[in-house]
Amino acid sequence: MRGKLVIGNWKMNGSLEANRCLLQELLPPLAALKGVGVAVCPPFPYLAQVAGLLEGSGVALGAQNLNAAEKGAFTGEVAGGMLAELGCRYVLVGHSERRSLYGESDEAVAEKFEAALAAGLVPVLCVGETLAQRRDGSTEAVIAAQVRAVLQRVGSAAIAVAVVAYEPVWAIGTGETATPEQAQAVHRHIRALLGEADGVLAAATPILYGGSVKADNAAALFAQPDIDGGLIGGASLEAASFLAICQAAR
């Protein structure tokens, strides 16, 4: 059975003080929340601090990106092994901001996905269409290309441990959310694509929805049969709203 999972993506936000305050408010009520996996992904410089704050809490640590190489002359980059050493369980790969602002292709994302697996991390593969792609009817094809690039590179090993996050680009940080029905249709499509590699594993792969998830729309999204939780940006920076979203996943 797939459990529910909620991951907070802090993006390039936070400070030593803000992180401490946020987790101080979040962790006690989260400790009382059973049956929902929770993780937070702070910026790289705060991973060690947040790892310390999360110790013993049951909340997992994740990173927002990694380099596909194991080590070497890649100034400014971070390897999967480093993230694992700092206590990360998850790492986002192919977030739409990485794809659009930093030119990460489907193939580059697949390489990062493979590197994450090699480092013992759980890759959270982010996929999603732009507004133009949705309008011209290519949503399913875009998602298929993004998912298949990974399956082609790593095969069914891809889905044995991975998480997928469907994040329509037009819904990220815009306040506009996919309706539960729109999201469910794409989630079903993603599960079918994974099923082409391995039906049994696909049935067990968590597929999260992301894109302007808030306390007041989370429950309806999470109630859909193929939506296994959320990847939360803006609303993960505020304790009350992130907590309410985690509670909606119960």
Contacts with ligand PGA, residue ranges (CB under 6 A) = 9, 167, 172-173, 210-213, 231-235
Report the residue number, 150 or 231, with the smaller CB distance to ligand PGA.
231
Tell me the pairing of strands 207-210 and 60-63: unpaired
Could you identify the residue written with the tokens 């790892």? 51
Decide whether 46 or 209 has the Cβ nearer to ligand PGA: 209
Residue showing the smallest CB distance to ligand PGA in the complex: 233
Residues 107 and 151: beta-carbon distance below 8 Å: no
Instruction: Indicate the residue among 156 and 182 with the shorter CB distance to ligand PGA.
Output: 182
Give the whole-angstrom CA distance, residue 155 versus residue 148.
Answer: 9
* Minimum CB distance to ligand PGA, residue 62 (Å): 11
> What letter does residue 125 receive in the DSSP assignment?
E
| Nearest-approach distance from CB 196 to ligand PGA, in angstroms | 26
187 is catalytic: no
Residue 99 Cβ vs ligand PGA, minimum distance, rounded to whole Å: 11
Q: Is 167 known to be catalytic?
A: yes
Q: Which of 114, 167, 176, 238 is catalytic?
A: 167
Q: How far is the CB of 211 from ligand PGA (least distance, A)?
A: 5
Give me the catalytic one of 95, 104, 129, 187. 95
Would you say 113 and 66 are in contact if contact means Cβ atoms under 8 Å apart? no
Which two tokens mark 135?
A: 């309008």
User: Cα separation of 150 and 164, whole Å?
Assistant: 11
Nearer to ligand PGA, 68 or 213 (CB): 213
Whole-angstrom distance, CA of residue 221 vs CA of residue 179: 8
CB of 245 to ligand PGA, least distance (A): 10
9/205 with CB nearer ligand PGA: 9
DSSP strands (E only) in the chain: 4-9, 36-41, 60-63, 88-93, 122-127, 163-166, 207-210, 229-232
Read off the tokens for 225.
């049969």
Which of the residues are catalytic?
Answer: 95, 167
